[in-house]
Amino acid sequence: MSDVRETQAAIGVLISGRGSNLQALIDASRERRLGAPIRVVVSNRADALGLDRARAAGIETVVLPHTQAPDREAYDRALVQVLRERGVTLVCLAGFMRLLGPVFCEAFPDRVLNIHPSLLPAFPGMRAQAQALRHGVKVSGATVHFVTPALDDGPIVLQEAVPVYDDDTEETLSARILEVEHRIYPEAVRRVLAGGWRIEGRRVLFASTDSRDER
C-alpha cells in the first residue's frame, strides 16, 4: 500500500522534446492540482524545447546528455543521482525518449510514471497513433502507467478512450489524444501522490472513491 504524503513529495520530470505534457504538469502544479511541487526537469537533449517551458516557470533544469555516458546503466545511475540530490520522490516521463533499465526502476520502485498515446497494452512503442490507424481500431486513447524496464509494460494507473474516425490521419488522431493526455496525466499524478493505492499483479487499485470515476 502506498502512503506518500504531500509534504514529503517532490516531482522530477524527464523530457527529450517539446514538453507539452510537461506544460500540463506545470499548469496543474501552479494551480495546486498535483499534490507536490516540480523540483527539477531533466533532459537528455540540450535543444529540448521543454527546457524553456521549465525555465519560464522558474523550475530548475538539468541537461544530462546520454551520449556522454559509457552505457545505459551508467546513464541511469547519473539520472538517479541528479534526482536524489534534489529530493525527488516521484518521477514523471514526459516525452522522454529513452528506455529506463532496472537500475533506475529499482531506485524509484513504483514511483516512475509515463503517459502513452494508446490504450495499453495495445500499440506500445513508437507512433502508437499510426499503429492504431493501420490496425483499423475504432477506439484508441491514452494511458498513464508505472514504468518498468519492459517497454510500456507497467501497471496501468489511468486510461481514457478516444474514438477513431474514418477520416482520421495520424496527425488528427494524435491531436485529440494529446488533449486527453494533458487532462489525465496531472490527475494520475495527483492520485498516486495522494496514496491509499496498491498494486496487485498488473492492477493498480485505489481505495478512495474517486477511483470509481473511470476514464
Report whether pLDDT(214) > 60: no
Residue 200 lies in a domain: yes
Report cis status (omega within 30 of 0) of the bond before 149: no
Which residues lie closer than 8 Å to 59 by C-beta, 6 or more apart?
26, 38, 39, 40, 41
Residues in the chain: 215
Residue 73 lies in a domain: yes
Mean pLDDT, the chain, rounded, equals: 93
Residue 6 lies in a domain: no
Q: Which residues are catalytic?
A: 116
Residue 3 lies in a domain: no
Digit-coded pLDDT (tens) for 26-62 = 999 999 999 999 999 999 999 999 999 999 999 999 9
Residue 67 lies in a domain: yes
Question: Other C-beta atoms within 10 Å of 190: how many?
Answer: 17
Residue 1 lies in a domain: no
Residue 96 lies in a domain: yes
* Structure confidence at residue 7 as a pLDDT band (50, 70, 90): low
- Do 118 and 128 form a contact (C-beta atoms < 8 A)? yes
pLDDT of residue 98: 93
Place of cell 489524444: 177
The number of domains in the chain is 1
Question: Other C-beta atoms within 10 Å of 136: how many?
Answer: 7
Report whether pLDDT(77) > 60: yes
Digit-coded pLDDT (tens) for 171-181 = 999 999 999 99
Domain residues for the domain of 139 are 11-212
pTM of the model: 0.92
CATH code where residue 159 lies: 3.40.50.170
Residue 25 lies in a domain: yes
- Taking the C-alpha atoms of residue 110 and residue 108, their distance in angstroms, rounded to an integer, is 6
pLDDT of residue 207: 86
